[in-house]
Every structure is written in structure tokens, then in C-alpha cells.
């Protein structure tokens, strides 16, 4: 697709003077796009040149008061939003139990009290109900929801925004999976005081490219001072340029229509986000994934029941057709959801091998990576299915060398 828009950072990188003898970092000493902050390339922490112009454009596109480009993923944006809350005197934040680890780690690092919102997990981690949000918000001064989530579902945004407004509590949105929604009714910026977009996930930005936004002057000021504490001091220019590019990249409505039609044709999960194609393979999941990978087709994740295929405006219609042809050949198995059972948490903990863990009480949440949301929550009894799923997964979080943390339950 021909680019018909101006990208300030990319233009600056392309117009470098030659010769360029590098007596600066990075150590590879090659002039090119991967430069450091030089006299002509602006500075991410106090932008006045091309980065400032890029941030202004991105803020305008996102309908925000301020935008801050990030080269450290949505994680740094989540942390910056939480720090902004703390700088505003807020110490208790409500968030769904199945929030990404960046939310929980951020609260941990900043000493914020997290108030978990109960969520169902059938047949995969679900968004919380409005009633559950209401109940948790009673004990918190701010709300942080994920919108949309990895499975393509949205929380009750309008109602949550109304609730927060009535209670004078800020609403934050983790839009790690929602950058492609800018300009639509579902976009985080229509509801939140602060939100983060993972540009690298659903827009054509390089990995780790993201942006964090404030919707009004008050939070813009708070975020401006918090974001500089959460970002690297050596930003990658290719990533910065790609984030600006990603927000200016045109929508691909033909693909959106094709993706929605494909969902219906494949009887994929009925979610609300065209970029997330979620197909239930249940007990056939691993075999389906292997079949696809042998043919060079790689899904975003296999959570043991579902294969998730992540689309973006750059997905080709031809590739979508190829995916359809392959998926149609594959048998579907039964979806198995380990029913969680809560237990009495103890004081002493121990790391035990996963194969001995069934029936024990989990002492630290853990899960598959991605989607990086907990499969087993702290205080839940570990089912055999969940332990087997963790053992079989190539990448996990919350485990240590094949062991899981459990509470010692004295007989
Ligand atoms: C819901 C959610 N929030 C935040 C993040 C963190 O994003 P990043 O990997 O860009 O730091 C992720 C990553 O997968 C995510 O799924």
C-alpha cells in the first residue's frame, strides 16, 4: 500500500546527512535508522522536535489531550498510568482478576492496593459484569479495565464510565489489544481518563511500540511527570517511527468485513473485535496447532482449548483465505474448562513439581504466556487439567523450573 501521509520521525531518519561518523551509541556504529538522541533527532524525555510533532499528531488521531510514545511496550504505559494515579493521591485500584501481569506487577512495584474484580472463566477468562465492577469499586478509588482483551471482548465500557463519573473516580483502560480501534465508537479514548494502546499488537508498529494517553489536562499533567519515570532513556528510533506510522496507517475495511465473515463461516467464538479470530479446538488444540505450524501458519496462542489468530490492517486477504482453507480441514474437540474451587489459604508455602500439584492450593497465580492472564489464581485448588496444561505449555509465567507455589495445608 502506498503511503500518503507524513511521518515526522521517519522523514528525519531518512534525511540524515552523509557522511555520518558515529562516535556515539549504539555500539554497532552503523549510521541508519538505529541512532541515539542526537542534536537533530530530538529527545523522548523532553521532546521539542520531530518526536513532539509525532506525539501531537498521534494525540489528535486518538482524540487525546496528550499522547506519549513508548518503546517499552504497553507494560510501561500501564505502569505510568498507575504512577500517575499514585501521584494524584490514589492508593486503591480495582481491576479484573484476569488482568495482564503488567497491571498486577505495577501495583506491586508502586505499593498500590489492588482490589480484584471477580470474573468468570467459561470457556476462557471473561470480562467482569457491571455488578462485579460496582462491588469492587466500593473499595477502590480508581478502576482499571482491559479493553478489548486478548480474546476480543469488551467490558461494559459505557456503564463503567458512568459509574466512575458518578463516583468521581478515574477510569483507566488497558488497550494493549485495542490500538486499531482509534476513531471508532469502541475506542478506549471515548471512555477513559488515561489509556494505553499496544500499537505493536494490532497496528503495523514494531514490537514494543506503544502509546499512552490522557484525555484531559489534569491527567495529562500527571501522566507527563509519571511517564518519564517508566520509560527507557535509550529509546529505539525505529520503534518510535513505527508507532507514528502505525497511527497514520489507513484502516482496512475490506479486511474487517472479510474477517467478520470468516468468523461466522468457521463458527469461531462470537467476540466483538475483528482482529481476534478465536477458534475452539478443545482436545484437538495441540494437534491443530502442529498441523498449521507444519504448513508455516502460526497462531498467536494456544491456551489449551482455543487457537487465537491475530489479524491487523496488514493481514492480506489472500492469507486469510489460506487460513480458512486449512482451518476447515481440522477436526474440533471438546472444550474442557477446569472448574476452580477455592480453598483456605495458609501461611507457609512450598514449590512443588506440577505433576504432584493436582489438589493442592495455589499460592501464586500462574498461567500460559501468552495470553499472560492467570490460569490458576492464588487461593484456587489446582485441577489435574490445569496442571497438565501448564506442564505441556512451552511458555508460562508464575512457575519456577516446572514447579508451582502452593500453600502448605496442615493435616
Ligand atoms: C492485556 C494486556 N495488557 C498489557 C500487556 C503488555 O503489553 P506489552 O507486551 O506491549 O508490554 C499485554 C501483553 O500481552 C496484554 O495482553
CA distance 394 to 44: 36
Q: 253-329: same fold as 8-25+48-248? A: no
Instruction: State the closest ligand 1 atom to the C-alpha of 75, by its place in the atom list counted from 1.
Output: 11
Question: Are the C-beta atoms of residues 153 and 127 closer than 8 Å to each other?
Answer: yes
User: Which bin fits 155, alpha (ψ -120 to 50), beta or left (φ > 0)?
Assistant: beta
Q: Which residues contact 279 (CB under 8 A, 6 or more apart)?
A: 266, 268, 269, 306, 307, 308, 309, 327, 332
In this structure, the residue with its CA closest to atom 10 of ligand 1 is: 73
Tell me the three cell numbers of residue 61: 488521531
Ligand 1 centre and the CA of 100: distance in Å?
Answer: 6
Ligand 1 centre and the CA of 175: distance in Å?
Answer: 8
End-to-end CA separation in angstroms for the chain: 67
- Phi, psi values for residue 225, rounded to 5°: -85, -25
150 in ligand 1 pocket by Cβ < 6 Å?
yes
Instruction: State the closest ligand 1 atom to the C-alpha of 201, by its place in the atom list counted from 1.
Output: 10
| Residue of 175, 198, 239, 371 best suited for mutating to test ligand 1, as the one with most atoms within 8 Å of CB | 198
Ligand 1 centre and the CA of 359: distance in Å?
Answer: 31
**Rg over CA atoms, the chain:** 22
Name the burial class of residue 66, with classes exposed (0-12), middle (13-18) and buried (19+) by CB atoms within 10 angstroms of its CB: buried
Ligand 1 centre and the CA of 64: distance in Å?
Answer: 21
Question: Are the C-beta atoms of residues 271 and 253 closer than 8 Å to each other?
Answer: no
Ligand 1 centre and the CA of 102: distance in Å?
Answer: 7
| Residue of 70, 71, 74, 105 best suited for mutating to test ligand 1, as the one with most atoms within 8 Å of CB | 74
Q: Which of 302, 271, 273, 270 is nearest to 286 (CA)?
A: 302
Model pLDDT, residue 83: 98
Task: Find out if CATH 1.10.10.10 is the number for domain 253-329.
Answer: no
Which CATH number describes the domain made up of 8-25+48-248? 3.40.640.10
Model pLDDT, residue 133: 98
User: What stretch of H or E contains 248?
Assistant: helix 237-248
pTM, rounded to two decimals: 0.92
CA distance 191 to 25: 41
Instruction: State the closest ligand 1 atom to the C-alpha of 146, by its place in the atom list counted from 1.
Output: 1
Residues 77, 80, 86, 87: is their CA dihedral positive or negative? negative
Tell me the three cell numbers of residue 285: 488444540
Length of the chain: 411
- pLDDT tens digits for 19-34? 899 999 999 998 789 9
Q: Which of 100, 155, 147, 125 is nearest to 305 (CA)?
A: 125
Model pLDDT, residue 35: 94
CA distance 64 to 212: 10
- Phi, psi values for residue 82, rounded to 5°: -65, -40
Instruction: State the closest ligand 1 atom to the C-alpha of 76, by its place in the atom list counted from 1.
Output: 11
Q: How many other C-beta atoms lie within 10 A of the C-beta of residue 265?
A: 11
Question: Are the C-beta atoms of residues 308 and 317 closer than 8 Å to each other?
Answer: no
Q: What single DSSP character describes residue 268?
A: -
Ranges in the chain, pLDDT < 50: 1
73 in ligand 1 pocket by Cβ < 6 Å?
yes
Ligand 1 centre and the CA of 132: distance in Å?
Answer: 23
Question: Are the C-beta atoms of residues 187 and 211 closer than 8 Å to each other?
Answer: no
User: What are the domain boundaries of the chain?
Assistant: 8-25+48-248, 253-329, 349-407
In this structure, the residue with its CA closest to atom 7 of ligand 1 is: 74
75 in ligand 1 pocket by Cβ < 6 Å?
yes
Model pLDDT, residue 1: 47
Model pLDDT, residue 4: 63
174 in ligand 1 pocket by Cβ < 6 Å?
yes
Model pLDDT, residue 89: 98
**358: helix, coil or strand?**
coil
176 in ligand 1 pocket by Cβ < 6 Å?
yes
When the candidates are 3.40.50.720, 3.40.50.2300, 3.40.50.9100, 3.90.105.10, the CATH number that belongs to 349-407 is 3.90.105.10
Amino acid at each position: 500500500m502506498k503511503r500518503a501521509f507524513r511521518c515526522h520521525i521517519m522523514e528525519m531518519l531518512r534525511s540524515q546527512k552523509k557522511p555520518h561518523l558515529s562516535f556515539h551509541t549504539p555500539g554497532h556504529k552503523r549510521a541508519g535508522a538505529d541512532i541515539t538522541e542526537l542534536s537533530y533527532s530530538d529527545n523522548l524525555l523532553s521532546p521539542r522536535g520531530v518526536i513532539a510533532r509525532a506525539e501531537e499528531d498521534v494525540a489528535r488521531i486518538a482524540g487525546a489531550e496528550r499522547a506519549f510514545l513508548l518503546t517499552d511496550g504497553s507494560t510501561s504505559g500501564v505502569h505510568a498510568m498507575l504512577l500517575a494515579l499514585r501521584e494524584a493521591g490514589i492508593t486503591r485500584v480495582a481491576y479484573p482478576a484476569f488482568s495482564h501481569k503488567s497491571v498486577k506487577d505495577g501495583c506491586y512495584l508502586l505499593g498500590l492496593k489492588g482490589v480484584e474484580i471477580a470474573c468468570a472463566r467459561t470457556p476462557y477468562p471473561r470480562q467482569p459484569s457491571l455488578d462485579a465492577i460496582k462491588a469492587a469499586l466500593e473499595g477502590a478509588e480508581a478502576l482499571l479495565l482491559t479493553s478489548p482483551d486478548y480474546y476480543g471482548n469488551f467490558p461494559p465500557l459505557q456503564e463503567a464510565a458512568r459509574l466512575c463519573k458518578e463516583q468521581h473516580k478515574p477510569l483507566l483502560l488497558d488497550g494493549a489489544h485495542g490500538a486499531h480501534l482509534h476513531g471508532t465508537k469502541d475506542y478506549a479514548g471515548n471512555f477513559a481518563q488515561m489509556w494505553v494502546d499496544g500499537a505493536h499488537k494490532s497496528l503495523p508498529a514494531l514490537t514494543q511500540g506503544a502509546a499512552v494517553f490522557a484525555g484531559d489536562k489534569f491527567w495529562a499533567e500527571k501522566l507527563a511527570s509519571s511517564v518519564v519515570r517508566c520509560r527507557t532513556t535509550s529509546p529505539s528510533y525505529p520503534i518510535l517511527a513505527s508507532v507514528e506510522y502505525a497511527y497514520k496507517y489507513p484502516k482496512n475495511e475490506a479486511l474487517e468485513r472479510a474477517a467478520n465473515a470468516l468468523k461466522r463461516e468457521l463458527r469461531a467464538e462470537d467476540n466483538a473485535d475483528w482482529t481476534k479470530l478465536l477458534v475452539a479446538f478443545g482436545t484437538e488444540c495441540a494437534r491443530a496447532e502442529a498441523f498449521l505450524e507444519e504448513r508455516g501458519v502460526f497462531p498467536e496462542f494456544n491456551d489449551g482449548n482455543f487457537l487465537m489468530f491475530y489479524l491487523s490492517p496488514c493481514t492480506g486477504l489472500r492469507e486469510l483465505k489460506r487460513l480458512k482453507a486449512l482451518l476447515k480441514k481440522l477436526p474440533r474437540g471438546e472444550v474442557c474448562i477446569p472448574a476452580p474451587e477455592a480453598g483456605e489459604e495458609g501461611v507457609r508455602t512450598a514449590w512443588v513439581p506440577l505433576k504432584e500439584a493436582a489438589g493442592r492450593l495455589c499460592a501464586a497465580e500462574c498461567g500460559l504466556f501468552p495470553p499472560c492472564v492467570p490460569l490458576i489464581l492464588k487461593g484456587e485448588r489446582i485441577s489435574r487439567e490445569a496442571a497438565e496444561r501448564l506442564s505441556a505449555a512451552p511458555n508460562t509465567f508464575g512457575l519456577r523450573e516446572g514447579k508451582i507455589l502452593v500453600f502448605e495445608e496442615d493435616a
